Amino acid sequence: MNLGSIEITFCGHATFALKTEAGKQWMIDPWLEQNPACPTRLKNPQKVDTLLITHPHFDHIGDALRLANKHDATAIGIYETVAWLQKKGVKKIVGFNKGGTIEHEGIKVTMTHAVHSCGIADGDDILYGGEAAGYVVTFENGLRLYHAGDTAVFSDMKLIGELYHPDVVCLPIGDHYTMDPAQGALAVRMLGSKVVIPMHYGTFPALSGTPERLRALTQDIAGLQIIDLKPGETLARELERLVPA
């Protein structure tokens, strides 16, 4: 796996900051200010070029409007969700749908399925937001990251593995709103990736799944690394620490 100058930083919960080889700053599922897992120093990023949104629940778009407006960032997501963001004032959007691949700032993004709901809380209403999704992000050097979004396990994860062979996978394991570690272990087997970053656990008491449990259920998989990044940690540095070059 070649990270090159790519940085994948865990901001807590399901939020990841990505630095591309060209130095663009992307954020998946921006939830910073009210995110109890997000370190203070990450709550106000210096620069944000692009926001990638899996679905519009508050813990995934809480800071989307703020960051898009402040940084003139592009919001990418499923058609109905980004159309809502546009209605709320986001100037630059890219709406697409499952199975599709778009290219933006030299990065390819493929939208995948996710088994989860997708309502948008807007005042007292819950609006139709399309469908919850996941993303396969292919960086300039070919490195592939699969961020599953919020989802239960589903057997088509095998297709995502077959089609895209993701190098790094971010999987929710907290239970209650998403899959638990037992489903996560099945997902790891179907995806075939050797580097797995658990997410969407521990933020609230209900999210009780743990990386230790996922590790225990996958210990027979040769070469697998479950890397439980702490909020604020960056994958490149952790891999260097774990696997000295």
Q: Indicate the residue among 53 and 239 with the shorter CB distance to Mn ion.
A: 53
In the complex, the smallest distance separating the C-beta of residue 55 from Mn ion, rounded to whole angstroms, is 8
SS3 assignment, position 213: helix
Answer for which of 131, 150, 167, 238 binds Ni ion (CB under 5 A) is 150
Q: Indicate the residue among 61 and 67 with the shorter CB distance to Mn ion.
A: 61
Residue 170: name the closest of 3, 41, 48, 14 by CA: 14
Q: What sign has the CA pseudo-torsion 159, 131, 184, 61?
A: positive
In the complex, the smallest distance separating the C-beta of residue 178 from Mn ion, rounded to whole angstroms, is 7
Exposed e or buried b for every residue in 135-145, given b needs 16+ CB within 10 A?
bbbbbbeebbb
Answer for which of 13, 19, 57, 147 binds Ni ion (CB under 5 A) is 57
147 binds Ni ion (CB under 5 A): no
Q: What share of the chain is helix, strand, coil (3-state, %, to 5)?
A: 25, 30, 50
With CB under 5 to 8 Å by kind, the binding choice for 63 among Mn ion, Ni ion, none is: none
Applying CB under 5 A, the residues found at the interface with Mn ion are 59, 150
Of 106-114, 144-152, 190-198, 211-219, the window that binds Ni ion (rule: CB under 5 A) is 144-152
With CB under 5 to 8 Å by kind, the binding choice for 228 among Mn ion, Ni ion, none is: none
Instruction: Give bridge partners of residue 28 from the DSSP assignment.
Output: 16, 52
With CB under 5 to 8 Å by kind, the binding choice for 144 among Mn ion, Ni ion, none is: none
- Cα–Cα distances (Å) from 238 to 7, 32, 154, 172, 226, in that order, read 11, 22, 29, 19, 11
Q: Indicate the residue among 176 and 241 with the shorter CB distance to Ni ion.
A: 176
Contacts with Ni ion, residue ranges (CB under 5 A): 57, 150
